[in-house]
Amino acid sequence: MRACVSVYMYCRDYGFKLEETPRRDKLILLLCAWSSAAIFGISTVFHTFICYSEKLADRLRRLDHVAAVNHIACSMYPVIYAALSCSPYRWHFLVAMAISSIICMIIFYFADIYAPEKAAIRGLMALGVAATALSGLVFHSFTLGAGAMWTAMGGRYLIHMIILNAAGLVFYIVHFPECWWPGGFDIVGHSHQLLHIVSAVATFSQINAILTAYGYSLNTPCPGS
């Protein structure tokens, strides 16, 4: 659904036909769409078969976290790619994001970090991947100017997305609200559900940030061009 909404809004707002979209732009957008399908698909399978066997649940839990890290990186690719369209360092940051996410995914799949008391470690690792992406935007704001960079990356939408995802991450790490009332939120309202809810809401802000960044890159010529 997210992928369809992204493509629809992209074509509606900027009047592009998908077949006329540059191949490189199309690849970046497809990476984002693929990561969305992967995280929600794997998460659905994980929660469906979590009680089937302990071994299967462990493998699916690891894949669920791998898909989450992959989604963090791939969903930020379009923003970085478009907002840094005039920067000579654009591909440096994209490669850095790819490397950090691959390292994190390998650790998530093979390391023994799934005990409840290690939730903070898992959260900080995911946060590190997101920080790699945001560092590119912060770095480029010094050359482009904070005001122009805010416009280029769809700043208000990006801030909304960061706040919502950060809230979800805090819920996940501290096990809120079940830490206040153990057993009271086993069916509805526990931290994992809240994480998914705020992440889904953040999706709409993220789509608008992507569209704003692409609109800026397409309608604003690079200095000296």
What averages of pLDDT result for each successive group of 10 residues across the chain (225 residues)?
A: 50 50 77 82 85 89 90 85 82 90 94 84 85 78 70 77 83 82 80 82 81 78 65
What letter does residue 52 receive in the DSSP assignment? T
Cβ atoms 71, 125 nearer than 8 A: no
Instruction: Check: pTM over 0.85? Answer yes or no.
Output: no
Let me know if 219 is exposed, middle or buried by CB neighbors in 10 A (0-12, 13-18, 19+). Answer: exposed
The backbone torsions φ and ψ at residue 77, rounded to the nearest 5 degrees and listed phi first, read -55, -50
CA distance 164 to 45: 25
d(CA 11, CA 32): 16
